[in-house]
Chain A
Amino acid sequence: SYVLTQPPSLSVAPGKTARISCGGNNIGSKSVHWYQQKSGQAPILVIYYDSDRPSGIPERFSGSNSGSTATLTISRVEAGDEADYYCQVWDTDNDHPYVFGTGTKVTVL
């Protein structure tokens, strides 16, 4: 089945930019979606179809996808951005079509 690899953790100072990578075989040919999960809460969608933002998600959140890596970028990081972030794709593998990345814990210093 398809595998998505993320760095386990990332630390960033307030006001700086966080870039979270999501690696997968030819991931640039797939649509990538991103979820934010704060401690003890359910995930919420922050980016869909590589770079679209749902209503209510700040413009500080953006996404890109090319080649073997997709990236979620959080600009002007705030304390409230501290959370786990997961990428996700839909794959043609009929046995397991919805695949999540391993998750990245973002810590705001």
Chain B
Amino acid sequence: QVQLVQSGAEVKKPGASVKVSCKASGYTFTSYYMHWVRQAPGQGLEWMGIINPSGTSTTYAQKFQDRVTMTRDTSTSTVYMELSSLRSEDTAVYYCARAAAGPHYFDCWGQGTLVTVSS
């Protein structure tokens, strides 16, 4: 079955960077786009960006445009999201989510990675 398994929780200091991974299995990795979505404590879902199947094209939400980088490694079926210049407001659970064949919705989600930014 389709599975997205993310890396473990992280604690970072303000100004640092974090890189979260998402390993896919159970489907043809190179056929699907992948999104990243985050959720601050007690808050709703916020879309961050999308990377195409080959990793050659990305689209980021304007809010994160200058701080986020999404990449993918087809040899390991893994997608990465790196967020730089972290601040306390970036404390959140970060999810990878597969783009459905549709493709305008998310048909499978990772379990989430908690990133805590604290001095």
Residues of A within 8 A of B (CB): 31, 33, 35, 42-45, 48-49, 54, 86, 88-90, 94-103
Contact = CB atoms under 8 A, between A and B. Distances in A.
Contact of A100 (B47, B50, B102): B47
B62 interface: yes
B62 A45 contact: no
Interface of B: 35, 37, 44-47, 50, 59, 61-63, 95, 97, 100, 102, 104-112
15 contacts: A35-B45, A42-B109, A42-B111, A43-B106, A45-B106, A86-B45, A88-B45, A88-B106, A94-B59, A96-B47, A97-B47, A98-B104, A99-B47, A100-B44, A100-B47
Contacts of B37: 100
Given A48-B100, A88-B105, A90-B104, A42 B47 contact: no
Contacts of B108: 45
